[in-house]
Amino acid sequence: MTFERAGIVLRSSVGVIAMVSMAAVSHANPAKPLTNAGPVLEEFGKQAQDQSLSEAERIQVISLLGLWATDDVRAPLMALLDDPLPSVRAAAARGLGWKGNQAAAAALKTRLATPGEPVPVRVAALEALGRIGDPSVRDVVLAATSDPDPAVRGAAFFGLAFENLTNPDDRVALLRRMAADQAIDRAMRSQSIQALGALRDAGSADLLLRLLESEPSVAMPQPPAMPSERDNMAARYRQARDVRAWVARSLWMIQAKSAVPLLLKTAEDPHDYFLRLVSLEALANWKVEEAVPVLLRRLDDSFDQNRITALWGLGNIGDRRAVDPVLARATDRVPEVRAQAVTTLGMIGDPRVRPQLETLQQSEPDGRVQEALAQALARLPR
């Protein structure tokens, strides 16, 4: 009889179904072992090795065993490391990757050293070793950071820089190598670049400057004005892989003001609204006076948040030459932009705009903008 729960297809009993719902947890939070788990896990182990089942069914069962993440499932998963199917070996290797599962480290290391082992299996073994965190295999994972295959290098770097094989003595050096390796996954590289910024690693400034100048541009289509959940997910996916944008953000975080000439250019990149945003944020926070012309042009940016950031930057710099362009944005179609324009006028502090703001008070329909108007008028000298 076939049961289906949460995408897992199982040929077993009602007791197995109870196990499915209780085991649907991550490696970081493994399921609490059940006193009668043995027979059920044994059944799962048999199904995982049953070559009469489809490849997809076997991998689903293996994934469930991996979610259990306790000693009870180590033996069946390790047995599957010798399966004829590479996809099954990869799933088993990945399933063995829970913190402290050092008893599986030697078998995973063997998979890495097996001549002709396909890349997906080697990647899964490295991912598991990173999560396990056994220091005895750290040199093997380090060696894999020089592997010819970028997926293998990426998995090795990730385990050493973000998982349980991290070591403060070499983490920054590994993060720099990861960031510079243009062949590996862009999301991984972006994560390494963010980490360098979070660590305030000023020594990475030259590397980041080179990346901002030489990294290939990637088109970042702007989300629609009324984005769906799917639109938001697509935008987050692309942002996570926008290497140049994260470089700009990290240069700001490490206060690398030598990046200003480049940021003045990236703040107006026509194809990447996210890169424009983080570049504007850096220039605005640093109060870069030579950025005023750029900020003024960005008041016409098609992305609402960029107009808001440019307005805030102009207020932070406090240049009264910006008053008229900022005042024009007080009638922007977007209430948040109007509110920031009014706030910026209060920050600049030019009393000549008082009559215009008082007039706006009479017609502005949005409560947030009305609040900004009251605060700005309170700041302005009479």
Residue 228 lies in a domain: no
Q: What is the pLDDT of residues 338-357, one digit of tens each?
A: 999 999 999 999 999 999 99
Residue 296 lies in a domain: yes
Contact between residue 140 and residue 122 where contact means Cβ atoms under 8 Å apart: no
Residue 66 lies in a domain: yes
Q: What is the pLDDT of residues 251-294, one digit of tens each?
A: 999 999 999 999 999 999 999 999 999 999 999 999 999 999 99
Residue 126 lies in a domain: no
CA distance readout (Å), 88 to 67, 78, 120, 122, 228: 15, 11, 10, 12, 37
Residue 239 lies in a domain: no
Residue reference for tokens 């030019």: 350
Closest Cα partner for 176 from 156, 159, 161? 161
Of 34, 64, 96, the residue at which a domain comes to its end is 96
CATH number, domain of 361, equals 1.25.10.10
pLDDT band at 225 (very low <50, low <70, confident <90, very high): confident
Question: Could you tell me the residue range of the domain that residue 78 belongs to?
Answer: 1-96
pTM for this entry: 0.87
